Chains A and B, each alone.
Chain A
Amino acid sequence: MADTARDAPPEQTDFHELEDGEELFPEPATTQESQPASLAAEDISTNSNGPKQDSLFDDDPEDLFAEATEEVSLDSPERDVLLSDGPSPAITPITPPTSVITPRIGHTHDDMFTHSSFDEIEEEEGGDSFDIHISVSDPEKVGDGMNAYMAYKVTTKTSMSLFKRNEFAVKRRFSDFLGLHSKLASKYLHIGYIVPPAPEKSIVGMTKVKVGKEDQSSNEFVEKRRSALERYLMRTVKHPILLKDPDVLQFLESSELPRAVSTQALSSAGLLRMVNKAADAVNKMTIKMNESDAWFEEKQQHFENLDVQLRKLHTSVESLVCHRKELSVNTAQFAKSAAMLGNSEDHTALSRALSQLAEVEEKIDQLHQDQANADFYLFSELLGDYVRLLTAVKGVFDHRMKTWQKWQDSQMLLQKKREAEAKLQFTNKPDKLQQAKDEIKELEGKVQQGERDFEQISKTIRKEVSRFEKERVKDFKTIIIKYLESLVQTQQQLILELVLEKLV
């Protein structure tokens, strides 16, 4: 039985194919029967392969929940098996997830399974190695006047089984990106996932483009935006959970996307967002949380410090970029004056030497410009991105506080209800008493859920922070290497120019 299951779905590297999921599932389910009762082998066809948040974070600690876990964790090793072509690994793939799940059997909290499932996803990343590259290109103006917009081509190149094809492209506009972020934020931020923020809106910048101003500043604006969108998408898909989100997949793959209307800056939705943000800020100030976990306190302080440092660095780099651009302008002007001097010069050899000087200076000017671009696009934007990312990180910490508050509120309410029930015991009102008892039962559930949610978000945040810190180091290193490469290249080109100048 196990073998047929193995043979049946050969190219089944596609998580979307529910039919295959169904095929795959029954086999492991049966073998799982020996496992704790909470893992019932129910039909999971209603669950998609991705860790769909609504099912996973159901308040209902149903087996449905557990099965989704099973499915997710088992799929990877299943595929591993298929890819690696090993000998009838009927039992083998099952064991790893089991061994991870087993220690948690003692817990009644199903959310633990969720965590283990995400552990799985991250650990199994090696199985379907992260190989996806997204590029945003070919900005194209669509339409005229104030209704015009820029459409960008989003090309995805990947070998991951998550996708239907290896290479595909779609056309998206800026509000689509904002819409994607909005959806992801509403799904994942409040449970502790650091969702990368979308690039910022710029009414001034966009207006220039709409109006049709074809000058250098509007070109620079479009290029800056294009680059920001690309980085945004890459950051998003680097997140193992977000990558598998159906909205993300839809964004990357489907040719038509419903227009995200509530993203306009000056729309009513936009204003509502601003109001909510303000309310949040006020709330945050009034929540006094008893921090029992020093880790969180320390991390929050760490991020506060980091925010300050990064902002300083960002300012520093911006000033550097400014000076480089100035240098480029000055070099160009000098080149011109040197050329004029060369032309006025009678002495032929000197005249020629001066003209050559002018040429070399022009080339140096170009090098300065390239360097300025490197400074900007590599460092300045990186630092800007991280300053914005830190906002998301802080947001996640805030959500944890809110979750804690919610739990505390439920607890307090439960306490009150219990007191009220105690009082009712002495009155002769059986209906009211029953109602009170029902309410208490409900509240107890809520309190339990509240505690679970809080522990869950805390655990998620710990992992997210760890991932963020690792990514941060990687990101910086990558950028720095690129920057150094550009530095080396610039110097070498300069050497070339000077050597040529010398020879003549």
Chain B
Amino acid sequence: MMEEVKETASVLSVHDDSIKVTEVLKEGDTLTFIIVSQKLSGTGEYHVDRTYEDFEWLQQHLFSQGDVPGIQGVIFPPLPAKPQVNASPRSIKQLGFLALGECQPYCKALETFLQQVAAHSILSKNKAVEVFLTSSDPPGRQKVKKNIFNRLSQAVEEMRKEGHKDVDEFFQNERDHNLILTGCTKTAAEKFLDVVATEQKIAVACGHFSTALHLCVEPGEDPDKQAFSRVCVKLSEVFESIKKNMTSVAENNVNTLGLGLDLESRYQEAEREMLFRRTCKLVELENAQRNVEKAKPVKKAAMEEVKKAAETEFEHTSGVAKQEIARFQGARVEMLQQALVGWCEKQLLTAKESADQFNQHLEVFRGMA
């Protein structure tokens, strides 16, 4: 069992883009993820097994880096919601695309999370990351000291702060834009999820129809009976093909655009949280400024100190935020474009394969005496 991790900076010893979540093991209600990453030294790879709680441990550590200047300006890579073996409808809805399929979408999302953390210039320096990725022992499960910013709570006062007018046009624009995009992306992801769900329903229905057709096959010497039986068998094969096509289409949707929209949606939320934190800092600063002005001479110096501290923090935060935003905007555009291209290519491939298969079936039927 590792001791509590000290918050010292470290250098990550693996290639960030080599991190893979290769499989998931199910033991009763527990899911264990196998994570493989390539050593920077080129001398091999690390294999570790982690549970969801371990991921949360990592995230907590990242959040609690209070001493890193401007840490509040970081857009934290979003961790997917907790998976459940026998998922409740609510948790399935919460997971969205990540709940579909066997586990690949979810594993891919975890993988992306880790890669982004490892690639982050500030975050990757946290020792917890190294421990998480390389230590053969599971990282500590003890609760980390309360971090400065837990997930945003929706307290009413917090909500009011969100609308607080900004002093910087750049940030005001970014906040406005983020608000719109968050909504649109969430809607698009939800609608796309509906599409995929229906596609899966169709696949199942085709399977049923295919099975029902087999029941129509009758034994017997009668040539008419045999002819009809043959038709039923062949038609059953056709619907198996249709089922396969639908399944592929749904999978393609999930693995490309689905994951893309899901990630984008969660990332937009992460940006929103960062901007909110900065806005809170702004409110703090403005309060401090007012306090200085209102302060009696006795308190004035102290208030001035507070104000200076707030100012510094705000500047640091804004500085980091600006960088993060620039990086984020670039990354998300590339990610979405790749998702769209990937979607197009995969669906095109599936469509071509299906067209070929259907054509083959057509020839068989045409050739049937």
A binds B: yes
Instruction: Give the interface of A toward B (CB within 8 A).
Output: 302, 305-306, 309-310, 312-313, 316-317, 319-320, 323-324, 326-327, 330-331, 333-334, 336-338, 340-341, 344-347, 349-350, 353-354, 357, 466, 469-470, 472-473, 476-477, 480-481, 484-485, 487-488, 491-492, 494-495, 498-499, 501-502
Using an 8 Å CB-CB cutoff, how does the interface string of B191-227 with A read, 1 for contact, 0 for none? 1101100110110011011001101101000101101
B358 contacts A347, C-beta separation under 8 Å: no
Q: Which of B198, B209, B345 is the one whose CB lies under 8 Å from A316?
A: B209
Within the complex, the shortest CB–CB distance from A400 to chain B, in Å, comes to: 20
Q: Which of A330, A357, A469 is the one whose CB lies under 8 Å from B225?
A: A469
B355 contacts A488, C-beta separation under 8 Å: yes
Q: Does B104 contact A (CB under 8 A)?
A: no
B191 contacts A330, C-beta separation under 8 Å: yes
A337 CA to B187 CA, complexed, in Å: 7
Q: Does B368 contact A (CB under 8 A)?
A: yes
Assuming A320-B205, A469-B225, A484-B365, is B358 touching A491 (CB within 8 A)? yes
From 164 to 205 in chain B, residues with beta carbon under 8 angstroms from any chain A beta carbon are: 177, 180-181, 184-185, 187-188, 190-192, 194-195, 198-199, 201-202, 205
Interface size on B, residues (CB 8 A): 57
Within the complex, the shortest CB–CB distance from A199 to chain B, in Å, comes to: 24
Q: Which of B187, B206, B225, B235 is the one whose CB lies under 8 Å from A340?
A: B187
B333 contacts A494, C-beta separation under 8 Å: no
Stretch at the interface among B24-32, B132-140, B151-159, B336-344: B336-344
A481 CA to B366 CA, complexed, in Å: 7
A302 CA to B229 CA, complexed, in Å: 13
A488 contacts B201, C-beta separation under 8 Å: no
Q: Does B308 contact A (CB under 8 A)?
A: no
A312 CA to B333 CA, complexed, in Å: 49
- Of all chain A residues, the one with the shortest Cβ separation from B336 is A350
Q: Which of B198, B205, B212, B362 is the one whose CB lies under 8 Å from A312?
A: B212
Q: Does B322 contact A (CB under 8 A)?
A: no
B202 contacts A317, C-beta separation under 8 Å: no
With contacts A333-B194, A481-B362 known, what are 15 further pairs, Cβ within 8 A?
A: A305-B218, A309-B215, A313-B216, A317-B209, A326-B201, A327-B199, A327-B202, A330-B191, A331-B195, A341-B188, A347-B329, A350-B337, A470-B224, A480-B234, A484-B362
Q: Which of B191, B192, B347 is the one whose CB lies under 8 Å from A498?
A: B347
Assuming A330-B191, A337-B184, A337-B191, is B205 touching A319 (CB within 8 A)? yes
Q: Which of A346, A473, A491 is the one whose CB lies under 8 Å from B224?
A: A473
Residues from chain B with a CB closer than 8 A to the CB of A330 are 191, 194-195, 198
A480 contacts B184, C-beta separation under 8 Å: no
Assuming A309-B212, A309-B216, is B202 touching A469 (CB within 8 A)? no
A310 CA to B185 CA, complexed, in Å: 45
- Of all chain B residues, the one with the shortest Cβ separation from A336 is B191
A341 contacts B185, C-beta separation under 8 Å: yes
Q: Does B144 contact A (CB under 8 A)?
A: no
B180 contacts A338, C-beta separation under 8 Å: no
Residues from chain A with a CB closer than 8 A to the CB of B190 are 337
Some 19 contacts from A to B, beta carbons below 8 A apart, are: A310-B216, A312-B215, A313-B212, A313-B213, A320-B205, A334-B188, A469-B222, A476-B235, A477-B365, A480-B234, A480-B365, A484-B238, A484-B361, A488-B359, A488-B362, A491-B358, A494-B351, A495-B351, A498-B347
Residues from chain A with a CB closer than 8 A to the CB of B234 are 480
Q: Which of A310, A344, A495 is the one whose CB lies under 8 Å from B352?
A: A495
Q: Does B46 contact A (CB under 8 A)?
A: no
Q: Does B242 contact A (CB under 8 A)?
A: yes
Residues from chain B with a CB closer than 8 A to the CB of A333 are 191, 194
**Most chain B CB within a 10 A radius of its CB, from A317, A320, A469:** A320
Residues from chain B with a CB closer than 8 A to the CB of A473 are 224, 227-228, 231
A316 contacts B216, C-beta separation under 8 Å: no
Q: Does B295 contact A (CB under 8 A)?
A: no
Q: Does B354 contact A (CB under 8 A)?
A: yes
Residues from chain B with a CB closer than 8 A to the CB of A498 are 344, 347-348, 351
Within the complex, the shortest CB–CB distance from A268 to chain B, in Å, comes to: 41
Within the complex, the shortest CB–CB distance from B8 to chain A, in Å, comes to: 39
B344 contacts A501, C-beta separation under 8 Å: yes
A313 contacts B191, C-beta separation under 8 Å: no
Assuming A309-B212, A323-B202, A338-B188, is B218 touching A302 (CB within 8 A)? yes
A354 CA to B181 CA, complexed, in Å: 13
Assuming A350-B336, A469-B228, A481-B366, is B184 touching A334 (CB within 8 A)? no
B348 contacts A495, C-beta separation under 8 Å: yes
Within the complex, the shortest CB–CB distance from B244 to chain A, in Å, comes to: 13
A337 CA to B212 CA, complexed, in Å: 38
Within the complex, the shortest CB–CB distance from A393 to chain B, in Å, comes to: 14
Residues from chain B with a CB closer than 8 A to the CB of A346 are 177
Residues from chain A with a CB closer than 8 A to the CB of B224 are 466, 469-470, 472-473
**Most chain A CB within a 10 A radius of its CB, from B188, B192, B212, B368:** B188
B194 contacts A334, C-beta separation under 8 Å: yes
Residues from chain B with a CB closer than 8 A to the CB of A323 are 198, 201-202, 205
Residues from chain A with a CB closer than 8 A to the CB of B352 are 491, 495
